[in-house]
Amino acid sequence: MYQSKLFTKTRKEAPKDEVSKNAQLLIKAGFINKEMAGVYSFLPLGLRVLNKVNNVIRDEMNKLGGQEVFLTSLQEKANWEKTDRWSDEKVDIWFKTKLKNDTELGLAFTHEEALTALMKNHIRSYKDLPAYPYQIQTKFRNETRAKSGIMRCREFPMKDMYSFSKDTAEHEAFYEKSKAAYQNIFNRMGLGDKTYITFASGGTFSKYSHEFQTVSSAGEDLIYICDKCKIAVNKEIIQEQNKCPACSGENLREEKAVEVGNIFNLGTKFSDALDLTYLDEKGVPQKVIMGSYGIGPGRLMGTVVETLSDDNGLVWPVEISPFRVHLVQVGDKDDVKKAAENLYEELCKASIEVLFDDRDLRPGEKFADSDLLGLPLRIIVSEKTLMSSEYEVKERKTGKVSMVKEVDICDFVKKYK
Amino acid sequence: MYQSKLFTKTRKEAPKDEVSKNAQLLIKAGFINKEMAGVYSFLPLGLRVLNKVNNVIRDEMNKLGGQEVFLTSLQEKANWEKTDRWSDEKVDIWFKTKLKNDTELGLAFTHEEALTALMKNHIRSYKDLPAYPYQIQTKFRNETRAKSGIMRCREFPMKDMYSFSKDTAEHEAFYEKSKAAYQNIFNRMGLGDKTYITFASGGTFSKYSHEFQTVSSAGEDLIYICDKCKIAVNKEIIQEQNKCPACSGENLREEKAVEVGNIFNLGTKFSDALDLTYLDEKGVPQKVIMGSYGIGPGRLMGTVVETLSDDNGLVWPVEISPFRVHLVQVGDKDDVKKAAENLYEELCKASIEVLFDDRDLRPGEKFADSDLLGLPLRIIVSEKTLMSSEYEVKERKTGKVSMVKEVDICDFVKKYK
């Protein structure tokens, strides 16, 4: 893409009404727009990142056997009354609205009720199980405070998968597989090292549920890490047992962390309330065992910004960067323009995603913008590089500069991880 | 995809609470789920169609120079008061809700106000124009009646593009280009022949705006077609002038039609109200000229069902079909199973999207389901086809059967349009 055509502009100063680093940087770089506290629009570069995060998640969910759906935000109260989650006293984050005939509606903050009701149309017999529907869809939560940028929003994208299993053995096997899929997702985002599977309280049906917590000074949670087992417990658990659930060691390290995902055994809570049953091999009705598996793609994107960016701006991992390469033309002489244009076409032909800074600006401004946008590789085309028949390639993450021969450039860029 | 794994099931009977053909067929085939009147969830097959419709639209918008964004549903009143569209007396389709501190919020039914405000951060000079942001995003409209299935919803996806131009000449050139892009979209959906560019009243800034109307007995609009010019006028225009705006002929044919898209010259209505200006070459502030360009992907999908389906079920055009091929295994002997499995793998390797009916059901049930789902090509693998070393390929649209040699099957399928 030609940067001269990109309609968003960077800002010199971070917005004064934001306290979180992720919102400051993403607004400064033109990735998002603040509509009100906790409500952000995604602009072209930001949407490209979000879509890539979504596609990584999709890929891992599909490998688990997930089937993608898209449920609605508008909810009638009937199903939510059955689980006692309709009243504002019971759930204090509802946004409610009304039809013209005064029927009260809610904006979904989660989808267990809606999906359980829906699955009653599709689950009859043991042959219809297991089933793993998931969606990436907008959730609404009426948060009292929203100061963490895109990490805690009133309107935000969420991936929620739900498992429907015949029995606890089938449920538990899937639950274990989902942990590995989640870890793959965080690895692919560049957050693997900092993300701990964290034991949390399990509710009625299990001793534990599990959170995925990424260590970050911007986190709103406290976790307690066992470095020996590379796992953690959350605040609730530490208060109950003050030891590692795996090795029973008591040497736990406290850290601030962001909850980037969670998985939960729902047991028969929803299938009881909404009467979701199947007929087993003998024709006897049985309750379906359910689980829920959540990840916030926007929060994940915010966490990447909080943990990987530096003083000069954003730093995107290759897999979720809006473009792989920032091609920066330095100087406006005809031969430089032509060489930059040729390289742009060559990279595009090789199916490499390139943002081409063809703007008529001073080199210093271009480099500052390039650092701020944070694409993994910057290639400079200038009078100097023309003379050497090599390109100067700078890695955003480390600042390391390589001189790459013209003939090798596509290969170099494609292999970069 | 293995059909035995697909969690949705078809129904024998259409739902009794639906009067529209599109909702009846799509629910019967397991493509959508009704949450309440005018509110539908998309299930795996339905979401695949919707995503393909979205991608066709995206492709044409990107070719026009569009840049994709994603704005929020939650809206504060300030910008809407400036255009006098906040009060329920002025706009009677708002869904409103509230923050905990009682601040009233609206759920966006369109995005002119939000986007114009947003663009003030990015448009300063004539160099920043033109700009063509667009999104595919959920709209909320508090409709009094909602009986047309996914063609008139209270919550629905909409593609809305907005143009920001320096002057009327730049605006008009883009407006004309957008007509061709829209026509491409309808052609690619299989609706080209039935869709007429329809003159509608233009508001303050133009004599006409333009609707794209697809002739269908399910339509809620009446249009008046000039067969000579292959254009139409809507009810408002016919009452004013009773003739074709192109040839002035008065021989106009009335038809029921569905409005599948519309384009509108907004002039300076929003840039006046929200003070969106740019500095021209001389440094003089000028108002930005705007246009809006809408398409409802869900309505488009519903219109395809209304106009192309037949008594046996859905009929999808190749470009938006959930899969290109329905591979149906008939009989459960080992050699048939193995041959069907092998063909499935061969087609997948050739990057052909296949739904593989590997279920243990009677052939009659499988064929009925296959007709209902409506994939463009059905390939049967049976004892009979094994003996002939040819596959029986049936075109869903026409019922035409071809015998295709094993070695030619991938080629045949790929070339099919």
First to last CA, chain B: 21
- The reply to whether A239 touches chain B by the CB within 8 Å rule is no
Helix (H) or strand (E) holding A377: strand A377-381
d(CA A25, CA A32): 9
Q: What is the dihedral of CA A296, A302, A304, A310, to 10 degrees?
A: 180
Q: Between helices A297-308 and A44-63, what is the axis angle to 10°?
A: 110
Tell me whether the omega of the peptide bond preceding residue A130 falls within 30 degrees of 0, making it cis. yes
Residue A389: is its pLDDT beyond 90? no
Residues shown for chain A: 417
The residue of chain A with its CA nearest to that of B97 is A97
d(CA B214, CA B223): 9
Instruction: Give the model confidence (pLDDT) of B8-30 as tens digits.
Output: 999 999 999 999 999 999 999 99
Residues of chain B above pLDDT 90, percent: 98
| Beta carbons within 8 Å of B412's beta carbon, 6+ residues apart | B393, B402, B404
The shortest CB-CB distance from B68 to any of A39, A44, A131 is to A44
In a 3-state reduction of DSSP, which class is residue A104? strand
Residues of B (143-162) whose Cβ lies below 8 Å from A:
144, 154-155
Q: What is the dihedral of CA B402, B408, B413, B417, to 10 degrees?
A: -70
Angle of CA points B204, B210, B213, to nearest 5°: 145
Question: Is A50 in contact with A42 (CB distance < 8 Å)?
Answer: yes
Instruction: Give the model confidence (pLDDT) of A41-63 as tens digits.
Output: 999 999 999 999 999 999 999 99
- The reply to whether B67 touches chain A by the CB within 8 Å rule is yes
Residues of B (94-123) whose Cβ lies below 8 Å from A:
95-100, 105, 107, 114, 118-119, 121-123
User: Concatenated DSSP letters for B90-111?
Assistant: T-TT-EEEE-TT--EEEE-S--
User: What's the whole-number mean pLDDT along residues B40-64?
Assistant: 98
Instruction: Give the model confidence (pLDDT) of A360-378 as tens digits.
Output: 999 999 999 999 999 999 9
Shortest Cα–Cα distance, A110 to chain B (Å): 14
Shortest Cα–Cα distance, A74 to chain B (Å): 7
The shortest CB-CB distance from A114 to any of B9, B35, B76 is to B35
The residue of chain A with its CA nearest to that of B107 is A97
Instruction: Give the model confidence (pLDDT) of A73-98 as tens digits.
Output: 999 999 999 999 999 999 999 999 99
CB contact under 8 A, A8 and B144: no
Domain spanning A21-308 has what CATH number?
A: 3.30.930.10
The shortest CB-CB distance from B142 to any of A43, A67, A99 is to A99
CB contact under 8 A, A5 and B65: yes
What's the pLDDT score for residue A199? 97
Q: Which amino acid is at B103?
A: T
Which residues on A lie below 8 Å from B114 (Cβ)? 35, 41
The shortest CB-CB distance from A41 to any of B9, B70, B138 is to B70
Q: Which amino acid is at A410?
A: C
What's the pLDDT score for residue A350? 97
Domain spanning B323-415 has what CATH number?
A: 3.40.50.800
Strands A377-381 and A390-395: antiparallel
What's the pLDDT score for residue A204? 87
Residue B389's pLDDT band (boundaries 50, 70, 90)? confident
- The reply to whether B71 touches chain A by the CB within 8 Å rule is yes
Strands B289-295 and B155-165: antiparallel
Shortest Cα–Cα distance, B366 to chain A (Å): 17
The shortest CB-CB distance from A36 to any of B36, B76, B154 is to B76
CB contact under 8 A, B114 and A142: no
Q: Where in chain A is the domain with CATH 3.40.50.800?
A: 323-415
Instruction: Give the model confidence (pLDDT) of A169-223 as tens digits.
Output: 999 999 999 999 999 999 999 999 999 999 999 988 999 999 999 999 999 999 9
Instruction: Give the model confidence (pLDDT) of A217-254 as tens digits.
Output: 999 999 999 999 999 999 999 999 999 999 999 999 99
Smallest CA-to-CA distance from A45 within A36, A57, A34, A33 is with A33
Question: Is B264 in contact with B209 (CB distance < 8 Å)?
Answer: yes
Which residues on B lie below 8 Å from A150 (Cβ)? none
What's the pLDDT score for residue A203? 85
Instruction: Give the model confidence (pLDDT) of B197-245 as tens digits.
Output: 999 999 889 999 999 999 999 999 999 999 999 999 999 999 999 999 9
Residues of A (181-200) whose Cβ lies below 8 Å from B:
none
Q: How far is CA B234 from the centre of its chain?
A: 21
Residues of B (274-333) whose Cβ lies below 8 Å from A:
none
Output b/e per residue, B51-75; b: 16+ Cβ within 10 A. bbbbebbbebbeebebbbbbbbbbb
The shortest CB-CB distance from A71 to any of B8, B41, B71 is to B41
pTM for the model: 0.97
Q: Which amino acid is at B32?
A: I
User: What's the whole-number mean pLDDT along residues B313-318?
Assistant: 98
Instruction: Give the model confidence (pLDDT) of A97-148 as tens digits.
Output: 999 999 999 999 999 999 999 999 999 999 999 999 999 999 999 999 898 9
d(CA B215, CA B257): 4
